[in-house]
Chain A
């Protein structure tokens, strides 16, 4: 089955110059854990998730730690998040985006979702424009 047959036809996406605080609003209200980032022509240029924002709010040495219990308190995270709240999300998005095209097989989408551990993948057309997303639930629904 082709990706176009199972994808969710939603074009919710953000621009790279969107402030972090606006992205948090979108994540909360649209109930999306992540979103594609597109340019002014709708071409997919990046991807950003709640995880990326949390990582951005953590101290630089966090990657060296084994557990979040080493973080002294939540205020530290809050202070850092406030510092970056008005920064463009382009500073924190991932540019190496995992995506599928609408003509790809569902197997390729499933493979990426499983191996990359992502909840959904952007779907683009032949021109690289966002046309939807494949959610894990879209794949599961197809399998039933």
Chain B
């Protein structure tokens, strides 16, 4: 049979089958695994018996899992996949080449002309000295202003349309020459087209803030062109 049964000097061989079947207690399992490290005979035994144990599940009557289980598991998996993309952001490419002054596709070029026409955002000092920056329209215009108070940003919009069906507005921060960074700031507007949104990370290290529409839950990278930009430097 090729499986050793009698030559283990310390009797360990009798545990191989129990171990392969999962019939040892947790403590016994740990002890046996430590023993496996040092015992060639047991490793050989185990390698011979393992495929037999691996075939055992086939003997269970087939029972289909309920569709709700798939839904539940995929819900968790998809949420974690989004989170992972958000945190890791691998292979980032410039989505907003027209904002970082690279060669321009025709449509983006039109946007830049708009930008150039509007000029640089102007910080208006209010009574409380918190700087306020005006937004610049790229795709769709409402009144937009961004207030930065002690590193805390608040974006106010008025007269914006609702985002497309099933999507939300997402706020991005950007330093020139780099790709936009996603923020957790997702929003829709009320029936008057108004919204006020906290923008985390809108510090003085940020050159501009952008808003795109994205699937619910947001995206790790922009998937549409921005509606407007608020330039802060």
- Do A and B come together as binding partners? no
Residues of B within 8 A of A (CB): none
Residues of A within 8 A of B (CB): none
